[in-house]
Amino acid sequence: MRHLLIPIFVTFCISLKAQTVYQPPQAEPLSKWQTTTWDAKWLVHPTAPARQYGVYHFRKSISLQQKPGTFIVHVSADNRYRLFVNGRSVAMGPARSDPQHWNYETIDLAPFLSAGNNVLAAQVWYMGESAPVSQMSYQLGFVMQGDGEAEKIVNTNGTWKVFQNPAYVPVKNDIAKLRTYIVVGDGDRVDASLFPWGWEQPDFNDTAWPAAKPAWFSAKPRGLGSDGNWGLEPRTIPQMTSKPVQLAAIRRAEGVTVPPDFLAGKTTFVVPAKTKATILFDQATLTNAYPELTVSAGKGASMTLTYAESLVDAKDQKGNRNEIDGKQIRGFEDQFIADGGQQRTFRPLWFRTYRYLQLAIQTADEPLTVNRLQGDYSAYPFEQKARFSSPDSSLARVWNVGWRTAQLCAGETYFDCPYYEQLQYVGDTRIQSLISLYVTGDDRLMRKAILEYDNSRLPEGLTQSRYPSADQQVIPTFSLFWVTMVHDYWMHRRDDAFVSARLDGIERVLNWHETRLDRQTGLNGALSWWNFVDWAWPWNAADNIGGVPAGSHGGGSSILTLQQAYTYLRAADLFAHYGQNQKAEHYRELARRINKSVMERCWVPARGLVADTPDKKQFSQHANILAILTNAVPAAQQRAVLTTIMRPTPADSLRPATYYFKFYLFQALKKTGMGDEFLPQLQPWHTMIANGLTTFAEQPEPTRSDCHAWSAAPVYEFLSTVCGINPAEPGFRSVNITPYLGTLPRVEGSLPHPAGTISVQFDKGPGNTLKGEITLPTGVPGTLRWQGRTQQLKPGKQVVNL
């Protein structure tokens, strides 16, 4: 995969000269195929329906006089493809998107080509009703465009051949089967006796295959032509990571003995004829991978692979994730039917998420040899560049589990959870993006997500809550968080052209909310759609909705009203920065009026808290967190409010934030100078680890998802709160370092900055003193703040002593 040439249209220009500073991203020139209708044609099967489930193989032979130095092609498909050259897998795609912003990959095939005959082969699948909700689509199609004169020989047209593979049928893994909301699509059932084994190899005989049929419409960049279908745009993210992962342990085996060396691929095992065998494997940690099961002989044997994050007991409870006694697996399934051939490998079309993998085998009249079972790990290729260390080893475990959670929730888009949905939700993505920036410095997936939400916009102005998504869902609170996500990007990156292009969409989101403010109360009025805040409010079966506080639909919610003020303040910063001062002042004044209305109608002096609604019967951490973040509560009272809401209280007296909304609690701690209280707030994360979770869950037990991106927030906070590293002005031009070590005597941390690396090392001394070293990149100054004292920081390495 390292040979792939993927177009990246954002570059960082960093000079090592002492007096130079970080330069903003520069756009590269558009290629010909971004502005011109392609010569290549979209291909379909000549007789198969183009909008029904099907798996297809396309092949093309080309002859080259010599091995080329470069051989650039542009490739895409609907729904997806896997491309082979001379039998070697070289790329997968397209990067998930929507039809009017349909990605294509740009690939240099030269490393895989040779002089003489070469074969290009693509497996293309269209899932129809079996597709995941995250898969948007137009119809079946495959296209390849050679970049120049030498490469045009590969252009898709009637010289390509195609075969519809009858071996594939879908396996239903739906809500009814798994008893929960799961929308990642169907599994695969593959009958090896119908499979064209070796179809991707150069020596495969495809003479019986029919010619592929060019579709009547042209392949074209977005914005050209008179018809819709796919608006092609270049992929802006790299190919996914691919690496082998081995199963860690055999936890149960019935009907067969499996030698321990099987896990390392050193031996095989045999299931006798007419035998039922079940083996439960443990990956030890949750993973995303394409399982690869290789078997020989055993004609007619059926194999079912079941994947699960954890096992469940008779009461459907997960309990400790490491324990299996008295528990069974219930999960997503694939099936494979052996044809009696040698070294037959089953690999599903899409990756699976699992800690536990159960292989159930029923042989027919022949014994079956199981040669190998391993995974091909898949995730966005984030590279961990940040580090955090302290004398408390339990924090290292939180870091590791949190970072694994973030990794498994990032692919061609961010995922809320990899097992159940694989949907990119704004509320999750804001937190994920900050983790990505701080741990890896890679902003490409964040930028892609911001743009996709902007592209999802409804005519009334709101963004969709999750996107890409074939099922439209709207959460107005998430549209507001999209605005703050743009603000986050602006604070961390100098990319004025991109950010300023979002201002129109931001204004449309803000206008939707502003027009729904109640003129008499100053609070939110009646709101449509799903006004989700947090799973602290459980699912209400009667209303078929959850996560919604009082006053959300009919009006009067202090929480939703304060979130508007929170967003208006950040939007005002953006408008002011780009010279739209009148709009900036309008939103600042609107935030002030909202804050005043909330305090007049919802403040309860006897409790020293903001109530959820003017009837003052319900209270939550959420309302008070937002009242602090917006300064609705005067600064002099904020620490008292925060102390009160963190005090142990019955949930019916004060509704606590779950893992997701604790991110905003952590922001309130920093804002009020109470960051030393962050580490004690991590007890729920320590509890999850003690309960055997290897990623962090969606919500407190009982939880659906064992891996949910929004729960990885502590990874960001170790650097942002404990080490105290935050941008002091837009574009991270300067740095504010305000560490909160709590009870820790020492911390070290570093994170990637566009101009280099920011690193800190602090030791606490007697009398609240702080000593250590700070290194800032070239051209990036900063300020250190500690216990009311400050020290100015210059670029480079320096000793600090406060």
Burial degree of 639 (CB within 10 A; 0-12, 13-18, 19+): middle
Q: Which amino acid is residue 249, in one-letter code? A: A
- Are 686 and 398 spatial neighbours (Cβ–Cβ below 8 Å)? yes
- How far apart CA 563 and CA 551 sit, in angstroms, is 14
Residues contacting 478, CB < 8 A, separation 6+: 425, 426, 427, 463, 465, 532
Mean pLDDT of the chain: 95
pLDDT of res. 28: 64
Reply yes or no on whether the pLDDT at 22 is more than 50: no
pLDDT digits (tens, 9 = 90+) for 2-18: 333 333 333 223 232 33
Q: Nearest 5 degrees, angle CA 411-CA 535-CA 284?
A: 45
| Exposure string for 334-373, b = 16+ CB within 10 A, e = fewer | bbbbbbbeeebebbbbbbbbbbbbbbbbbbbebbbbbbbb
Burial degree of 385 (CB within 10 A; 0-12, 13-18, 19+): middle
Reply yes or no on whether the pLDDT at 670 is more than 90: yes
Reply yes or no on whether the pLDDT at 761 is more than 80: yes
- Are 461 and 482 spatial neighbours (Cβ–Cβ below 8 Å)? no
pLDDT digits (tens, 9 = 90+) for 731-759: 999 999 999 999 999 999 999 999 999 99
| CA dist list (Å): 453 to 230, 449, 460, 466, 484 | 18, 6, 14, 7, 13
- How far apart CA 425 and CA 416 sit, in angstroms, is 6
The values of phi and psi at residue 13, to 5°, are -110, 105
The token pair that represents 497 in the structure block: 């052209």
Q: What percent of the chain has pLDDT over 90?
A: 92
Reading phi first (left if > 0) and then psi (alpha if -120 to 50, else beta), residue 643 is in alpha
- How far apart CA 427 and CA 407 sit, in angstroms, is 17
pLDDT digits (tens, 9 = 90+) for 133-187: 999 999 999 999 999 999 999 999 999 999 999 999 999 999 999 999 999 999 9
- How far apart CA 350 and CA 289 sit, in angstroms, is 9
- How far apart CA 108 and CA 90 sit, in angstroms, is 10
pLDDT digits (tens, 9 = 90+) for 567-586: 999 999 999 999 999 999 99
What domains, with CATH codes, occur in the chain? 32-166+195-234 (2.60.120.260), 241-379 (2.60.120.260), 516-677 (1.50.10.10)
Question: What count of Cα atoms within 13 Å lies in the side-chain half-sphere of residue 596?
Answer: 8
Neighbours of 615 (CB within 10 A): 12
Burial degree of 654 (CB within 10 A; 0-12, 13-18, 19+): buried
Q: Output the DSSP codes for 2-71.
A: TT---------B---STT---B---PPPPPGGGTS--SSEEEE-SSS-TTS-EEEEEEEEEEESS--S--
- How far apart CA 295 and CA 341 sit, in angstroms, is 8
What are residue 333's DSSP bridge partners?
A: 306
| CA dist list (Å): 802 to 388, 483, 723, 746, 785 | 22, 37, 15, 15, 9
- How far apart CA 235 and CA 33 sit, in angstroms, is 13
**Cis previous bond, 79, omega within 30:** yes
Query: Out of 131-140, 273-282, 622-631, 641-650, which region has the weakest mean confidence (pLDDT)?
Result: 641-650
Burial degree of 540 (CB within 10 A; 0-12, 13-18, 19+): exposed
- How far apart CA 228 and CA 139 sit, in angstroms, is 12
Distance between terminal CA atoms of the chain? 49
pLDDT digits (tens, 9 = 90+) for 407-456: 999 999 999 999 999 999 999 999 999 999 999 999 999 999 999 999 99
Residues contacting 20, CB < 8 A, separation 6+: 778, 779
The token pair that represents 794 in the structure block: 């210059």
Q: Which amino acid is residue 110, in one-letter code? A: A
pLDDT of res. 26: 57
The predicted model scores a pTM of 0.94
- How far apart CA 99 and CA 222 sit, in angstroms, is 9
pLDDT of res. 228: 84
Sheet architecture: strand order including 387-389: 387-389, 746-753, 756-765, 769-776, 796-801
pLDDT digits (tens, 9 = 90+) for 347-389: 999 999 999 999 999 999 999 999 999 999 999 999 999 999 9
- How far apart CA 53 and CA 135 sit, in angstroms, is 13
| pLDDT average, residue stretch 394-402 | 98
pLDDT digits (tens, 9 = 90+) for 697-712: 999 999 999 999 999 9
- Are 251 and 310 spatial neighbours (Cβ–Cβ below 8 Å)? no
H runs (alpha helix) in 179-316: none
**Cis previous bond, 468, omega within 30:** yes
Count each helix (H run) and each strand (E run) in the chain, helices first. 14, 33
Q: What is the DSSP letter of 343?
A: S
- Are 137 and 72 spatial neighbours (Cβ–Cβ below 8 Å)? no
What are residue 142's DSSP bridge partners?
A: 43, 77
Residue matched to tokens 């990505």: 436
- How far apart CA 301 and CA 581 sit, in angstroms, is 71
Reply yes or no on whether the pLDDT at 254 is more than 70: yes
Q: Output the DSSP codes for 423-466.
A: --BHHHHHHHHHHHHHHH---HHHHHHHHHHHHT--TTSPPPSB
The token pair that represents 391 in the structure block: 């004398």
Where residue 108 falls among pLDDT bands split at 50, 70, 90?
Answer: very high
| pLDDT average, residue stretch 505-513 | 98
- How far apart CA 630 and CA 607 sit, in angstroms, is 20
Residues contacting 461, CB < 8 A, separation 6+: 508, 509, 511, 512
- How far apart CA 513 and CA 508 sit, in angstroms, is 9
The token pair that represents 403 in the structure block: 């970072």
The values of phi and psi at residue 713, to 5°, are -50, -35
Q: What is the DSSP letter of 130?
A: G
The token pair that represents 561 in the structure block: 């009203």
Q: Which amino acid is residue 579, in one-letter code? A: G
User: Three-class SS of residue 527?
Assistant: coil
- How far apart CA 95 and CA 104 sit, in angstroms, is 7
The token pair that represents 451 in the structure block: 């743009």
- How far apart CA 694 and CA 387 sit, in angstroms, is 19
pLDDT digits (tens, 9 = 90+) for 203-248: 999 999 999 999 988 899 999 988 889 999 999 999 999 999 999 9
The sign of the dihedral angle between the CA atoms of 101, 102, 103, 109 is negative
